[in-house]
Amino acid sequence: MTRVALAFDLGGTELRAALVDGEGRLLAFASVPTLAREGVMAVVGQIEMLAETVRREVPDAVVAGVGIGAPGPLDPKAGIVLGAPTLSGWHDVPLAGILSDRFGLPVGLENDANAAALGEWCFGAGRGANSLVFVTVSTGIGGGAIADRRIIHGRRGLAAEIGHMTITDTGDRCFCGAVGCFEAVASGTALGRRATAMTAAGDGSRLRVLSCDAAVTGRDVVDAARAGDPMALSLLAEEARWLGIGFTNLLHLYSPDVIVMGGGISNGFDLLSETIEATIRSRAMPAYRDVPVVPAQLGRHAGLIGVASLILRDEGEAMPPATEADLDHQPGATPAGPKEAIHG
């Protein structure tokens, strides 16, 4: 009999489920396109269905609880999804309570970026750190910060909105309306946009060949750079410089033991890291300069593994020890690994 968590990653396009064991391994996995426009109960129905699917695969597993990652903003303590742009009609949904009723199990809810941070911390590139910042660089930039062995939540669980810190006066206006957001200059979208502006359809450049003469994506830039394309390498150097500036801020503000970089652009981590580190060395105060920046290890399953860690209690070194403190408001709840609220 294996003790597992039933883990869900609720995205706007895909709903994923897994059984995750105490060592962060996926014993079963299933996914469906999210019925994002059909309201809360349709999605709850999908969750129940996926639960049956994965439980059937490992019939002797003992499910200790349910962890679910969902788009923010959400209130992890109250277990409420406050309202996500990608889930229509989701406003103040007490998702943890609903699932606790359905499954009769304790439920932990966390936003997707924090969930990935937890996963990398417990079982990935950030194992053993007391403090960690996870940064995902893809279409946008998001992240989660763990300080002194706890996720930083802040008011309404809204901390670590890393992509919208101002780091410059230049660049295109961010979708949020401001100028100079980290995301607006350093996301994969920004990288692709710069590459698109430097090339033209039909110009025969490697970037446009890779993009089939459509707009160039950040991933095209990484692929072209890996093949040695000089323009792509120069674009990646600029990308790495922006990442280095943003990461330097994260060092000064959170003082992590390690920065873990995930997301699509981290596929080019090996091509970026030298300039990222040089930028940090030239801009960070001396005490922060030797903090490592490392690529994420868990890929797209980081969030599933992270929410599982909300449930599975500490039984080994990889899992940070629990404290009772954060469960004060939930007397009788199973002590979790990382110190998040458990509902049930």
Q: Minimum distance between the CB of residue 150 and a second copy, rounded to whole angstroms?
A: 7
Tell me how far CA of residue 314 lies from CA of 311, 318, 334, in angstroms: 9, 8, 11
Q: Minimum distance between the CB of residue 253 and a second copy, rounded to whole angstroms?
A: 6
Q: Minimum distance between the CB of residue 68 and a second copy, rounded to whole angstroms?
A: 20
Q: Minimum distance between the CB of residue 167 and a second copy, rounded to whole angstroms?
A: 5
Which residue in this structure is represented by tokens 């194992």?
A: 127
Please, which residue, 228 or 286, has the CB nearer to a second copy?
A: 286
Dist. CA 223–CA 237, nearest whole Å: 14
Q: Minimum distance between the CB of residue 205 and a second copy, rounded to whole angstroms?
A: 29
Please, which residue, 82 or 311, has the CB nearer to a second copy?
A: 82
Please, which residue, 219 or 339, has the CB nearer to a second copy?
A: 339
Dist. CA 124–CA 336, nearest whole Å: 18
| Tokens coding 125 | 């590139």
Binding site for a second copy (CB under 8 A): 73, 130-131, 145, 147-148, 150, 152-162, 164-170, 176-178, 180, 245, 248-249, 252-257, 282-283, 285, 287-288, 291, 323-326, 328, 339
Please, which residue, 24 or 244, has the CB nearer to a second copy?
A: 244
Please, which residue, 55 or 156, has the CB nearer to a second copy?
A: 156
Q: Minimum distance between the CB of residue 242 and a second copy, rounded to whole angstroms?
A: 11
Pairing of strands 107-111, 293-295: unpaired
CA 17 to chain centre: 16
| Tokens coding 107 | 């439920």
Cβ proximity of 273 and 150 under 8 Å: no
DSSP classification of residue 343: B
Please, which residue, 177 or 332, has the CB nearer to a second copy?
A: 177
Name 25's Cβ contacts closer than 8 Å, sequence gap at least 6. none
Q: Minimum distance between the CB of residue 131 and a second copy, rounded to whole angstroms?
A: 5
Dist. CA 108–CA 310, nearest whole Å: 6
Please, which residue, 224 or 293, has the CB nearer to a second copy?
A: 293
Helices (H), the chain: 40-57, 95-103, 112-123, 182-186, 188-198, 206-210, 218-226, 230-254, 269-283, 302-309
